[in-house]
Structure 1
C-alpha cells in the first residue's frame, strides 16, 4: 500500500476539489464512512464551507439521526456488537428519505433527520427541497457494502489497534462490529477515496491498495 501524508486542511481541500468536479448539474450523494473515532462527522462538517465557497449548496446528514427505534436496536441488549453491525441504523429510512429522492429521477425532497434517539421517536423534521447541484454529505459508520445509493464514497480507515486505542471505553463493545465490517465488507478495497486516520491529526491518502 502506498500512502501520501497530508494535513487535515489539504485533505479537505482535495476532497472539495474532487466533489465539485462530479455531476455539476445534479445532486451528488457522498458517503463519509468511518467509526466515530475516525471522525467522519468532523470531516463532513469541515467540507461544508469550502464546498459552498466553490458554488455548491451542501446538505449535512448524520446517520445518528437515522437510528432504528430502541425496541429494535436494543432487542438483544445495549452492548451487542451483532445488533450494532446488522440492525442499529435505519438504512431503509436513509434510502427512502434521503438517497433515493436525491438520486436520478428522485423528487429532490429530503428529510435530514428521521429519528430522535434522545426521546426515541420520529424527529418531526420538515422535508426540504434540494437546490440544483446540491451535495449531500452523509457521515457515519458501516455505510458501505449494503447497496446504499452513493455517488462518491470516502472511507476513513483505522488499524484495529488504533481504533481500539481511540474508542472510548464505554463504546469498546462496538469494536467486534468494526472488525467484522473490515473482514466481511472490506470497504477500503472499493471506496472511491480511502484515507488512513490512525491519528486523525495526520491523515494519509491511500494511493495504491494491496
Structure 2
C-alpha cells in the first residue's frame, strides 16, 4: 500500500470533506464512521479532531468511545486481569453497541444513541441519558478492535502502528494486550478492511493512503 505524508490538520480536513460527500449505504439519514486503532495510536484524539471539523461544517456529530461499552468486571476478568484473548473476545460489549448505538440509526430508527453504558472504574452502569442525533448527523465510533463484527460503517479509518511502534508506545502496564493486537492483524487484517489507512508510527508525522 502506498502511503503519503500528511499533517493531522490536512488529514482531518480531507476526512471531513470525504464524509460530506458520503451517503449512508442503507439509505437512512445518519452516517456511521469508525476511527479504529490501538490506544497507543490515540483514536480518541483523531475522532475528536474530526468531530470538531464536521461541526465547523455544520454537521451534527455524536462521538462514542468503544471503552464506554465494556462488560462488567465479572465477565471481563473471568480469566484474569491480563488475558489477551479475553481482551480480544469478551472485554467489549458489542451486542450493546449494536443495540444502543447502531440499531437506533437504522432507517426508520429513533436516532437516540446511548453515549456509554459501563464505567470500569466503578464497575457500574453509567446511567447516561440518551443523545438524539438529528437526521444528517454523523456517528463517530472510536476505539480498538472495531472491525470484524459486521458493524455497518459507511466510512472506516484505521490508525496503523507497526509492531515496533505499538510496543514502544504502549505503556508497560498495558503491554499484556499486545498479543490481542497481533491476533487482530492476523485474523481481521484491518489495513484491508478500512477505507482509509493512516500510519501513525510517528505521532507528529502521519501518512495515509489518500482516498484509495
TM-score, with normalisation over the residues of structure 2? Answer: 0.94
Aligned residues: 209
1:101 partnered with 2:104: yes
- The residue number in structure 2 matching 1:189 is 192
**Rounded Cα–Cα distance in structure 1 between residues aligned with 2:120 and 2:210:** 38
Cα offsets for 1:99-137 (capped at 9, x unmatched): 111132322111011111111111101112211211111
Choose from 24, 29, 45 the match for 2:32: 29
Contact 2:68–2:118 at 8 Å: present in 1 too?
yes
**Rounded Cα–Cα distance in structure 1 between residues aligned with 2:23 and 2:210:** 23
Is there any run of 5+ residues in structure 1 with no aligned partner, and where? Answer: none
Contact 1:100–1:149 at 8 Å: present in 2 too?
no
**Rounded Cα–Cα distance in structure 1 between residues aligned with 2:126 and 2:173:** 26
Contact 2:104–2:110 at 8 Å: present in 1 too?
yes
**Rounded Cα–Cα distance in structure 1 between residues aligned with 2:167 and 2:56:** 37
Choose from 83, 86, 90 the match for 2:86: 83
**Rounded Cα–Cα distance in structure 2 between residues aligned with 1:190 and 1:68:** 25
Is there any run of 5+ residues in structure 2 with no aligned partner, and where? Answer: none
- The residue number in structure 2 matching 1:134 is 137
Deviation at 1:55, TM superposition (A): 1.3
**Rounded Cα–Cα distance in structure 2 between residues aligned with 1:128 and 1:172:** 35
Contact 1:91–1:148 at 8 Å: present in 2 too?
no
- The residue number in structure 2 matching 1:9 is 9
**Rounded Cα–Cα distance in structure 2 between residues aligned with 1:12 and 1:142:** 21
Deviation at 1:208, TM superposition (A): 9.4
- The residue number in structure 2 matching 1:178 is 181
Deviation at 1:16, TM superposition (A): 0.7
Cα offsets for 1:11-44 (capped at 9, x unmatched): 1111111111122872111110000111110000
- The residue number in structure 2 matching 1:122 is 125
- The residue number in structure 2 matching 1:18 is 18
